[in-house]
A = this chain, B = another copy of it.
Amino acid sequence: MNPQELLERLRWRYATKKFDPARKLDAETWATLEQTLLLSPSSYGLQPWKFLVIDDRALREALLPLTWNQRQVVDASHYVVLAARKGIEPRDVERWIGRLAEVRGAPRESLAGYEKAMTSFVVKPPAHVVLDDWTARQAYIALGFAMESAALLGVDTCAMEGLEPAKYDALLGLEGRGYRTICALALGYRAADDRNATNPKARFALGDVVEHL
């Protein structure tokens, strides 16, 4: 991809406050976005997450008051809740190693060193690492991937952090499954009259954000 096209897409995107409720993503575009979520990188490749796509209208309506009544929850074409693993443990590592052996067509034993490194990390993480924070951070990589991918496909998004995670967990049945709500992403198409769409792109000056040492 050419650099100018990439930057043009990233300047086109913005936090969409008002979606056009009548415009839906077509099936191919949505399937592609699910693949970009799946392909998001994560530490050790562990993918300590679940992405819950809320298709059910009644469930969307029920999430609305748990999301500061932000209309994107119900007006966007698609609404995805990003949940992260809570209490990650050696079993998660085993599950990943099993999958990896399957995809590579390799014996599990050939992955023993990798498994051991990951298991050590999970059992006794470095002093500065809090595992539940660490899995939550991974979910933000996927959030970034989904937002950038959407922009590349001409799809608008709004990341949703203003929500009540514990109430989401209860309503979505995450309680007791070992996952917890981290944030959500609304995807669709901007309404013709979304005032945010016409604001000039604003960032700090490059030199205030990027420093060379």
Contact = CB atoms under 8 A, between A and B. Distances in A.
A56 interface: yes
Contacts of A148: 144-145, 148-149
B34 A7 contact: no
A153 B209 CA distance: 22
Contacts of A142: 144
A122 B126 CA distance: 29
A212 B34 CA distance: 11
A153 B3 CA distance: 7
Interface residues of A, number: 75
A164 B141 CA distance: 20
A144 B40 contact: yes
B104 A53 contact: no
Nearest to A205: B99
A75 to B, nearest CB: 18
A176 interface: no
Question: Which secondary structure dominates chain A's binding surface?
Answer: helix
B200 A53 contact: no
A211 interface: yes
Interface string A12-47: 010100000000000011001011111111010101
A111 to B, nearest CB: 11
25 contacts: A3-B29, A6-B152, A10-B36, A13-B41, A15-B41, A34-B206, A38-B210, A41-B144, A43-B159, A43-B161, A45-B202, A49-B209, A50-B210, A50-B211, A59-B213, A100-B202, A103-B202, A104-B200, A126-B164, A133-B133, A137-B137, A138-B140, A144-B147, A145-B147, A172-B213
A212 B53 contact: yes
Interface string A114-131: 000000000000101000
A6 B153 contact: yes
A206 B203 CA distance: 35
A56 B213 CA distance: 6
Contacts of A206: 34-35, 38
Contacts of A166: 128
